[in-house]
Structure 1
């Protein structure tokens, strides 16, 4: 479960809820609160709750640009060191913004070097054009769709696929073995990145999950959803618990179908 799935609660609540509900681990979003940037504190929290951090999301969002300094490559290296310290194996990162021209110009080759030099998987995430009623804007370099670029590992975000008016299943088929991390969520194709619960949008989320399981996928499946509609901790727990049961049922059926 992503720590963002408990927002507006803090990262510490994600560990508490993940432990109570029986999640296998956490994807830590670096920069969403002060705790998330203190890796020693995160390690203590993970150990206390018995919920390991399996992946981290590097501070490459627009709202986390100031986290861990202004050196983009330094942020990625530090994220790799953090996930190794926490015992995980995956770093999720967004492509550069178009105003980060120097960083963007060497991004594909730079990510390839990071993967060659580390046991950590640096997984570039699919993004989306920024759309308005007046049209769309080119926001990312070298592009929001990682498919044509020479990245070793990719993260599929189903909500981002919806916002880009694409189908996640098409990405699954196009990426093959490069798919190494999944942000399991949904969307209805609006201008906003909705991060709905799986099955609430247009991405055929449960079919996508069954497809990757049937292909022998061995990466992480991370629930990254918005639960801001929850009116209480109990309601948030019900939403996250129901999603986990659905994920485990779908994976079990897909695995049984392979036998």
Structure 2
């Protein structure tokens, strides 16, 4: 069964309880909590209060990555992952979304895959490494993540697919989903304009269907193959953060899109016939 949830980032910087309220009013099944500088995103008691008040579970936790969350859960990157996973376990969430390290985080980058495995073993929570993108400044393009911005090339058991990040990377999201195979355990539902110069476009996080990624095709593929992960909306709402009616409209459009395309079409083949390259080692689960 696929669960459809909403990320608290959709209404950031509004308080955590507002995110649960928006998710309930929009029709989502649950909430992904992105850990930020706001104490409520790190306080299991307050989160459980919101779960009880709005009748929605925490489906996943996003480890702190935003600049405003620099000191959330301390400064040690391994500690951030461990405490994020402990929070997820305490709340009954099975997944923590993790970004690959930046290249200048030398020790964390060197030990990243072993740290992910250690935290998973210690907490029983899966750490799903999210696809990111290279950065372009003028003619210069650089991968600022290590081992890579592409989770296909990272030796981890679980991965997160973000459609907007794939667009910035110049990567077709269906190709990425097929390349990840059974390692794809989590989806950030949004859209983006596919870049012809990877790293050169803004990370848009559009409402699905408003960009050029094959979002409907990916969701249909997941539904037809019996995938049992979580599809979590992560659409930009910053411009409408204080226009609650506009925010609700965007969220309702997103959840309606998800439910429409996550209904299996029995008349279609169980998987697309698109050829997929194998750019690197893909570990077995």
TM-score range, shorter chain: over 0.9
Equivalent residue for 2:110, pick from 99, 105, 129: 105
Q: Is the 8 A contact 2:207 2:254 kept in 1?
A: yes
CA gap of 1:88–1:225, structure 2 versus 1, over 3 A, is same
Aligned residue in 2 for 1:165: 170
Query: How do 1:68-147 and structure 2 match up within 5 A?
Result: 68-147=73-152
- How far apart in 2 are the matches of 1:202 and 1:194? 11
Aligned residue in 2 for 1:219: 229
CA gap of 1:254–1:27, structure 2 versus 1, over 3 A, is farther
Equivalent residue for 2:238, pick from 202, 206, 228: 228
2:250 is aligned with 1:239: yes
2:53 is aligned with 1:22: no
1:87 Cα deviation from its structure 2 partner: 1.4
Q: Which piece of structure 1 moves more, 75-84 or 125-134?
A: 125-134
- How far apart in 2 are the matches of 1:226 and 1:60? 16
1:119 Cα deviation from its structure 2 partner: 2.0
Q: State the TM-score, normalized to the length of structure 2.
A: 0.85
Q: Is the 8 A contact 1:126 1:144 kept in 2?
A: yes
- How far apart in 2 are the matches of 1:176 and 1:114? 23
Q: Is the 8 A contact 2:220 2:263 kept in 1?
A: no
1:17 Cα deviation from its structure 2 partner: 1.0
SS at match of 1:115: helix
Higher relative contact order (CA 8 A, sep 6+): 2
- How far apart in 1 are the matches of 2:38 and 2:123? 27
- How far apart in 1 are the matches of 2:35 and 2:54? 19
Aligned length: 259
CA gap of 1:244–1:32, structure 2 versus 1, over 3 A, is farther
Q: Which runs of 5+ in 1 are unaligned?
A: none
1:257 Cα deviation from its structure 2 partner: 5.6
Compare the two structures and name the one with the higher helix fraction: 1
Aligned residue in 2 for 1:153: 158
Q: Which piece of structure 1 moves more, 5-14 or 214-223?
A: 5-14
Aligned residue in 1 for 2:53: 48
Q: Is the 8 A contact 1:130 1:191 kept in 2?
A: no
Supply the RMSD in Å over aligned alpha carbons: 1.9
Aligned residue in 2 for 1:191: 201
